[in-house]
Structure 1
Amino acid sequence: MKQQEAWPSKSDTPHFTGLPFTRKESDHRRRHHHHHSSSKSNTSGSTRKSTSSSSKTHVSNNLKHQQYDYSLLPFELVQKIAASFSLPNLRAASLVCHAWRDALQPLRQAMMFLRWGKRYKHGRGGLRSNVDKALEYFLEGAARGSTPSMVDAGLIYWEMGKKEKGIALYTKAAELGDPNGQCNLGISYLQADPPSYKEAVEWLYKASFAGHVRAQYQLALCLHQGRGLDQNLQEAARWYQQAAQGGYVRAMYNTSLCYSFGEGLAQCRRLARKWMKRAADRGHSKAQLEYGLLLFSEGDMMKAVVYLELAKRAGETAATSVKNVILQEMSTPSRDRVMHLADNWRALPSSR
């Protein structure tokens, strides 16, 4: 299991058909509006004068919107807008008009390269894991403007030690509005030597506001530690909570600590316990250790040993001594039961 970071010292299809894309439709609406207006009975001249100015402005604004032909948008602009789209959204956008269908063809092709790249990277679909082949496919997708492909290619470069190439791809994806690219770029700046905290926080904020839970957690750490900006425990706790509610297990653990110590949040033992258990049930080893100790203090020995055993297996050596003390007081059937529960335990889904 990967080492967790310590307490400081995570419908698709848009309704494009609702937009007026052609002049013919807007012309028809304008003629219909004119006919409908002329068929109404005449009102007094004074009423007509009092409403004519606002009515003309309202109608004029509506007609300007209706007359705009979205198919005239430059291909480059359409491609930039859709660079981070998922495949279902790309398919939906491609149905808007022939121009959009043609403009988005490279991005649809990029999705095929992205899919094959993931298969080679993770050894799926009957393929053996091949990082070089995966990178080749990701770069093909990136060349067609796909930001998910840029992010995956950047990650492989980063893991290869070619960090400059990775950062270049992260930057391109981030500038096109991809939250994964923004998050990875922000973390890259944090890990630089020396770190570039100001740039890191800027990109982490953008990804966080887009709902990226890992970025929210990293931003909370920066706020908690005062890296790149003034320390702000209240805002840090708010972003921890946001990421925890989005399923990010490390944020669950830190949210528990905020409630436990009263840092940025009102001290609350009940909520601290709730978030500690959530983190423990999702495989956070420190949370398993601390929740096991909490259960031990409450006298729930059976559950305490299970969590302490899980923590020990995940590398928390401090769990061993307490666990052994409890086991000595248990009967053989109870000890067997505890080991059976630990052996069959499975972590709940999380965003890591």
Structure 2
Amino acid sequence: MNDRTWPHRSETSHFSTLPFPIKNPIRKHQNPTKNHEKHENSPSTAICLRQFRSPATSRRSDHHRDFAALPNDVLTKIAANFSLPNLQTASLVCKAWRDGLRPLREAMLFLRWGKRFKHGRGGVKVSMEKALDSFLKGAARGSTLAMVDAGLVYWEMGRKEEGVALYRRAAELGDPAGQCNLGISYLQAEPPNVKEAVKWLYQASVGGYVRAQYQLALCLHRGIGTDQNLSEAARWYLRAAVGGYVRAMYNVSLCYSLGKGFIQNHRQSRKWMKLAADHGHRKAQFEHGLTLFSEGQMMKAVVYLELAGRGGETAAVHVKNVILQQLSPPSRERALTLADNWRALPSTR
């Protein structure tokens, strides 16, 4: 399930117009503020707040909210996408919760073993079959994290229908990764189901999942499953970029550079292009290298162009060689040493 960056010329009219009054199906869903307000009033959040109330306040509210009496199936749905630390914390609330959350705690063990088998960690050999078996056991115990990982293995095996079914289970339980993967699966289906794709990508985006925010921005940018809306697309690109998504950083730079979705701002464009380059985006490294070259910063330009060339940007190699001819031997050696020692900044992707 490969991600794309800026829409190709063949996919859109290369930004010949800016958008205009929009009937966006996305607006039929709740906005992020309302969703956040609902989350703050959810039972699981109320429990966390209850732990910090004064004893007097707790006594007044105890007869209204007895969370220890929650049925196990409801408790499991609430905690289905909890990580192990959150599960362990929730298990300390009361004995009923400790017992009710036992299957999810067991699921975390299967999830851990599944990752070991998938990636060959912890001294075990890679085995996709054993990884899938472990993930499915975790999924059977209600963990959406295991459902998503099992879905990924199915997808990589070419068993896409089984993978999508697991994504759907996780998505319906509120897992943002499951919602995002389900949305992307609908986009890649034959034929695509773009309306469902946008619906699930929006839900994951509101939940703060940066890959979904980027994919949603691409849909808004291209007008897939919704009316084209470059200003909305730019806003979602920016949210994903702030969250560390490298492809979104590059697209934010282009939005500012071309004045598409944002007011044209070359300073912001350069800022985001450098951030994308420093996080390892090879096209950004090429373009930032060209900018440095045009400004006369030859050694820095060589570093970024060398990195871009190593990443597969063949045009960068030619420009780098032209610059190297203008540098002294010590400067050439210094620039290439800097490229050898360069490390990308950590990113979401």
TM over 0.5: same fold? yes
**Corresponding residue of 2:127:** 130
1:199-253 CA-to-partner distances (Å, cap 9, x unmatched) read: 0000000000000000000000000000000011111000000000000000000
After superposition, the Cα gap between the structure-2 partners of 1:305 and 1:101, relative to the gap in structure 1 and judged at 3 Å, is same
Flag as ranges the 4+ runs of structure 1 deviating above 6 A: 25-28
**Corresponding residue of 2:324:** 327
1:140-171 CA-to-partner distances (Å, cap 9, x unmatched) read: 10010000000000001001110000000000
**Corresponding residue of 2:6:** 7
> 1:220-259 maps to which residues of 2 (within 5 A)?
220-259=217-256
Contact 2:286 2:304 in 1 (8 A): yes
Contact 1:190 1:200 in 2 (8 A): yes
1:15-36 CA-to-partner distances (Å, cap 9, x unmatched) read: 846438xxxx899946xxxxxx
When the two chains are superposed, the root-mean-square deviation of aligned CA atoms in Å is: 2.1
In structure 1, the gaps of 5 or more residues are: 31-62
Matched, 1:349 2:332: no
Once residues 179 and 3 of structure 2 are traced to their aligned partners in structure 1, the CA distance between those partners, rounded to angstroms, is: 22
**Corresponding residue of 2:264:** 267
> 1:46-65 maps to which residues of 2 (within 5 A)?
none
**1:68, distance to aligned residue in structure 2 (A):** 2.7
Once residues 290 and 4 of structure 1 are traced to their aligned partners in structure 2, the CA distance between those partners, rounded to angstroms, is: 20
Higher Cα Rg: structure 1 or 2? 1
Matched, 1:309 2:306: yes
Identical residues among aligned pairs (%) = 68
TM-score by length of 2: 0.85
Amino acid at match of 2:263: A
Match of 1:19 among 40, 50, 66: 50
1:29-76 CA-to-partner distances (Å, cap 9, x unmatched) read: 46xxxxxxxxxxxxxxxxxxxxxxxxxxxxxxxx6x743321221111
**Corresponding residue of 2:186:** 189
In structure 2, the gaps of 5 or more residues are: 10-43
**Corresponding residue of 1:175:** 172
**1:88, distance to aligned residue in structure 2 (A):** 1.3
SS in 2 for 1:67: coil
1:100-148 CA-to-partner distances (Å, cap 9, x unmatched) read: 1111100000001101111111111122222211111111100100000
TM-score by length of 1: 0.84
**1:6, distance to aligned residue in structure 2 (A):** 3.5
Count of residues paired in the alignment: 311
Contact 2:47 2:67 in 1 (8 A): no
Match of 1:80 among 77, 83, 93: 77
Once residues 27 and 268 of structure 1 are traced to their aligned partners in structure 2, the CA distance between those partners, rounded to angstroms, is: 52
